[in-house]
Structure 1
Amino acid sequence: MLSAEDTLKLNVLIATSIAIRIDTYKLVVVGLNAQFKEQVINLNPVGDSDAYIKAVKKLLINQILGATGGYPSYLKRWSRMGQVASSNLASLLKLGEVEAVVAVSNATNLDKDLLKLAWWCATNTDNQAEIGRFLLTKGLCINTEVGKDIAHYLLEFLPFTQDVEQLIDTTNLILQKDLINKEEKAKLWKQGQRKTAILVGFIERMKNNLPRKIDIIPLDFKHQDLQIVSSEQAQLLLATLIHILKKINQETILYRTLDVLGRYLSHPLMTCKESIDDIINQANVITRDIKDEKEKLFARMLLAGVSERLVVSTISAHNLTGSAIRKKLINVLEPIQKALNILTTP
């Protein structure tokens, strides 16, 4: 049961705010008015603080959505699917409910005003990084100051991110355009030499614009099908792929690395297969009558056929983790690594 004083303050906050968030640790409710000024209510819990926060949320939901049973279950189902109607979005940001902010950040019809409010609502919540990633998938976010704020928050949060997929996704997202500057990208690239999940984000997002390395030089290939790997950037990409695969010990890194490689070197005569032997056979047929640069053309064609399909069934069937991935998949990884080495050798 809310105190009469808190109930009165909350009703005033609802009437004067365009967005509301709740800090459950500090037991405060913060409202943002139309002038982007914050209004803070320090709660005075009567009894259990968790129950008191629930009562606050119940009041907000009742007053704003007219719902009496708590956060609507249909919004919980839809919030991560981008299916919340545009007419609801502004109201959802006044509920002090993180799941509602997730719903807004996932919406397909987000505008710049809602973007700014959603990020404000996400601040100091347990889901701030997740919401930031959702928002950076929106094209309208990339050229805004809010987008840069989100990117820098995620950059600072990156060392505390343990989930490999989140590491890759976060790196990929913050590398968009000029969300972070060249110096920050260079520092992140250096960190990736030790933590290869970061490098996967780089090769996904910046495969033609990777930070330069002094010892990488373009190669002079003659055949038309080898021009794709002759430039300095192409050689840097291949060298990065070699580095990632040499240290491979996690399935998501392997899946996404192979997909980048196969997409980059895709060729109309090659199709992705689930067997490395089938890919080798394809490459042999295509290069059978080639005389000049045959070894390099074979390597290029082999790599055009790789994808996660090569390894996913084996990893799943044997529940492979860590160094067991390299050992069990040596027959797949060795031909790929050999091909990469051939294409990076003058």
Structure 2
Amino acid sequence: MELTSEDSLRLNVLLANKPQAIRIDESSMTLFGLSERGESRIILNPNCRDDLYLRMVRELLSGHVQGSPGGYPVYLKRWSRMGQTRDDNLEQLLLLGEPEAVVAFTCAKGITDELARRAWWISQDPDNARRMLDNPQIVDGSMGPELARFLLDYLPFETESIVIIESLRLILQPGLISEEEKVSLWKRCQRKPTYYLGFLAALPDDLPVESVPGAMTGHEKAALLSLSEQGNPFAAQLLRIHSSPGQGFISTVLKVMEKPANQDVVATLLDVVRGYLQSLRPTGDPDLTLEELEAEADGLCSDAFVACRDAVSRRETEIRSLYLLSGLGYGIVRPVLSNTDAIGSLMRRKLAPVSERLKQLLQRFQGG
């Protein structure tokens, strides 16, 4: 079975003109080509089942681009969603008329702003937008605001908490949306508390909330500032969490804890708090239970801890609490959630002992 002579001729003419990107609308059996002169289209005339015909079309494209039409299915299986696609063949992925090729493309690290524009012309999909906005080169280019605008408009249609949080984290990167839009998103948090997590992940030190700095004496501030300038992470984090932005971070975390919707929200919140305090635990997630973290904090005796404790002795409990919170992760809720898929109020009841203890630790930093 071969392509019709008309389609074969028109496709070869299209390829000879070196298109920048190709997409196929399977429902209308139409192939579109993008070039510097604009967009062209070829209405396909299948002489067999549509799916078989589309496969032959894609084999022709692959043969022209890759030089191996028979190897197309194998090549498809080898595309990576892990960002390992070679940067020297990224443009080729956009000429195959295959959505999965665009997915592989958006995972690559070497995408340029121009190539992102072509990929977006092929497939305006929220997952593709998220993957590209996770690339600093795209965020800093002209496509960054366009992708962010798409995700912002699409946000009301997202239903999965983890996807909503990730979209907000990406949208809220500097320079992508206006301050007015940011404030508008923040107002939505009151109706959709999950939105708070997106802000916590993206703007932990710049939340659009007014907060009063924690009470701290001049002597304490001077001592902590001196230690912080010497690289003491405990001093730096104490100053940070008692600042106005730090108090806003704590109050927002507590708002999320009031009524988490599901286990994804709980796990992400724990990761966000650990990330906020990562300088205290640069090795990452220790994956310990709350009891193990408390025992570890009680036994803390590192040089940085001792120096900070000696400088502001009345803050010792806070310093140990900071270290405990820097180890938060799924480990503290695994004993409760590992054997249940509970969500909503049932999940919150099961987590109450852990949640109440965490609230106590966080509230310790509010005020003075």
TM-score normalised to the size of structure 2?
A: 0.81
1:71-123 deviations in Å (ceiling 9; x for gaps): 34344333212222333221221111011111222123223332222222223
- The alignment partner of 2:261 has SS state of coil
**Contact 2:111/2:138, CA 8 A, preserved across alignment:** no
**Contact 2:81/2:104, CA 8 A, preserved across alignment:** yes
Q: Which amino acid aligns with 1:318?
A: T
Cα pair distance change 1:23/1:255, threshold 3 Å:
same
Q: Which amino acid aligns with 2:253?
A: L
Equivalent residue number for residue 276 of structure 1: 290
Cα pair distance change 1:266/1:176, threshold 3 Å:
closer
1:261 to 273, 294, 314: 273
Cα pair distance change 1:2/1:332, threshold 3 Å:
same
Please, which runs of 5 or more residues in structure 1 have no aligned partner? none
**Contact 1:300/1:343, CA 8 A, preserved across alignment:** no
Equivalent residue number for residue 22 of structure 1: 24
Q: Which amino acid aligns with 1:236?
A: G
Equivalent residue number for residue 110 of structure 1: 111
The question of 1:220 aligning with 2:222 is answered: no
**Contact 1:273/1:279, CA 8 A, preserved across alignment:** no
Q: Which amino acid aligns with 1:334?
A: E
Q: CA deviation at 1:27?
A: 2.8
Equivalent residue number for residue 94 of structure 2: 93
- Quote the Cα distance in structure 1 between the aligned partners of 2:87 and 2:321: 51
Paired residue total:
339
- Quote the Cα distance in structure 1 between the aligned partners of 2:197 and 2:37: 38
Equivalent residue number for residue 328 of structure 2: 306
The question of 1:4 aligning with 2:25 is answered: no
**Contact 1:272/1:304, CA 8 A, preserved across alignment:** no
CA RMSD of the aligned region, Å? 2.9
- Quote the Cα distance in structure 1 between the aligned partners of 2:194 and 2:37: 38
Equivalent residue number for residue 339 of structure 1: 361
Q: Which amino acid aligns with 1:257?
A: L
Cα pair distance change 1:167/1:28, threshold 3 Å:
same
1:129 to 126, 129, 136: 126
1:180-236 deviations in Å (ceiling 9; x for gaps): 1111222222223333333222111110111124xx322222454532222221111
- Quote the Cα distance in structure 1 between the aligned partners of 2:30 and 2:290: 59
Equivalent residue number for residue 78 of structure 1: 79
Q: CA deviation at 1:177?
A: 1.2
- The alignment partner of 1:343 has SS state of coil
1:173 to 150, 170, 173: 170
Bigger Cα displacement from structure 2, 296-305 vs 327-336:
296-305
Equivalent residue number for residue 343 of structure 2: 321
Cα pair distance change 1:140/1:268, threshold 3 Å:
closer
- Quote the Cα distance in structure 1 between the aligned partners of 2:176 and 2:184: 14
**Contact 2:213/2:367, CA 8 A, preserved across alignment:** no
Cα pair distance change 1:75/1:109, threshold 3 Å:
farther
- Quote the Cα distance in structure 1 between the aligned partners of 2:159 and 2:188: 15
- Quote the Cα distance in structure 1 between the aligned partners of 2:297 and 2:367: 19
- Quote the Cα distance in structure 1 between the aligned partners of 2:59 and 2:278: 54
Please, which runs of 5 or more residues in structure 2 have no aligned partner? 225-234
TM-score normalised to the size of structure 1?
A: 0.86
The question of 1:151 aligning with 2:151 is answered: no
Cα pair distance change 1:51/1:40, threshold 3 Å:
same
- Quote the Cα distance in structure 2 between the aligned partners of 1:154 and 1:36: 28
Cα pair distance change 1:98/1:295, threshold 3 Å:
same
Q: Which amino acid aligns with 1:317?
A: N
Cα pair distance change 1:27/1:134, threshold 3 Å:
same
**Contact 2:194/2:260, CA 8 A, preserved across alignment:** no
